Amino acid sequence: MTSSMDESAQAWTPSDFEARLRAMGETRYHHRHPFHLLMNEGKLSQIQLQAWVLNRYYYQSSIPLKDAALIARCKDQKVRVEWLHRIIDHDGDDDREPGGIDRWLILGEALGLPRTLLLEEQGILPATRFAVDAYVRFVAQGTLLSAIASSLTELFSPQLIQTRVSAMLCHYDFLDEAALAYFSRRPLQAGRDSHFALAYVLEHARTPESQTDVLNALSFKCDVLWAQLDALYYAYVSPGFTPPGAFNP
């Protein structure tokens, strides 16, 4: 009659648990969202792509804040040292090369969005802000395990990026390889990052409770990504009702 007798209270083995996480990506990651499907079929207008890039900039530029928040609450020096390069990946390094945020600005310029428009964070959908801010807060305030687990969507991003880059080069003649420089770096970075995060999670989530926390964190993060595309679809595809103050060229 104790809860440990209940099958649902058994911990999964690491390999079964990894399979669960990957299965969640299959069903909940935003590669399945209709907005991305339209994008990859070449069916978005330049304005719709602009709206995506503008809103997604808020996500991109919040990632270093999110990663610094994780480091700020992490007493494990090894994790901090491993996590730090994520900030450099996005913010760049003054001595060497631009980071992901600067590369995203290049994508915006290729689409006709002035750099200042993105930098000023004007016209972003409120739903974008709510979702992204919720993600940063989740990482700052939840457990370290959940914070690390919420990055596991990177397990699924290289595949999506590969599909996206091919589709963009094929369908949108205003985009070329230079415009898509952001994406050329991400698969390698995401592979390294998700490798570390997955190993950490498999090592530290060995109880039913902690495995549930990890699954909930990944599910939450999928929701954060999905909600951003829902809002874009609603405002710029169908029904196309743009909220007051949002980007509306």
Mark 95-124 with x for binding to a copy of itself (rule: CB under 8 A) and - for no binding: ------x-----------------------
What's at 66, amino acid-wise?
Answer: K
Cβ–Cβ under 8 Å, residues 18 and 202: yes
Cβ–Cβ under 8 Å, residues 221 and 152: yes
Minimum distance of a copy of itself from residue 183's CB (angstroms): 20
Q: Which is nearer to a copy of itself, 94 or 203 (CB)?
A: 94
Q: Residue 18 and residue 22: Cα distance in Å, rounded?
A: 6
173 binds a copy of itself (CB under 8 A): no
Q: How many residues bind a copy of itself (CB under 8 A)?
A: 24
188 binds a copy of itself (CB under 8 A): no
Q: Which is nearer to a copy of itself, 35 or 196 (CB)?
A: 196
Answer for which of 25, 64, 108, 123 binds a copy of itself (CB under 8 A) is 64
Query: Residue for token digits 């926390």?
Result: 213
Cβ–Cβ under 8 Å, residues 101 and 201: no
Answer for which of 11, 38, 47, 71 binds a copy of itself (CB under 8 A) is 71
Q: Which is nearer to a copy of itself, 61 or 211 (CB)?
A: 61
37 binds a copy of itself (CB under 8 A): no
Answer for which of 11, 38, 47, 88 binds a copy of itself (CB under 8 A) is 88
Answer for which of 11, 38, 47, 65 binds a copy of itself (CB under 8 A) is 65
Q: What backbone phi and psi angles, to 5 degrees, belong to 180?
A: -100, 20
Q: Which is nearer to a copy of itself, 11 or 65 (CB)?
A: 65
Alpha helices, DSSP H, located in the chain: 14-28, 34-40, 46-72, 77-91, 100-110, 115-119, 126-141, 144-149, 157-171, 181-204, 208-236
Cα 22 to Cα 17, 71, 79, 156, 161, distances in angstroms: 9, 26, 23, 8, 17
129 binds a copy of itself (CB under 8 A): no
39 binds a copy of itself (CB under 8 A): no
Is the bond preceding 98 in cis, omega lying within 30 degrees of 0?
no
Q: Residue 107 and residue 46: Cα distance in Å, rounded?
A: 12
Tokens of 205: 């989530």
Q: Which is nearer to a copy of itself, 101 or 152 (CB)?
A: 101
84 binds a copy of itself (CB under 8 A): yes
Residues found near a copy of itself in the complex (CB under 8 A): 61, 64-66, 68-69, 71-75, 77, 80-82, 84, 87-88, 91-94, 101, 140
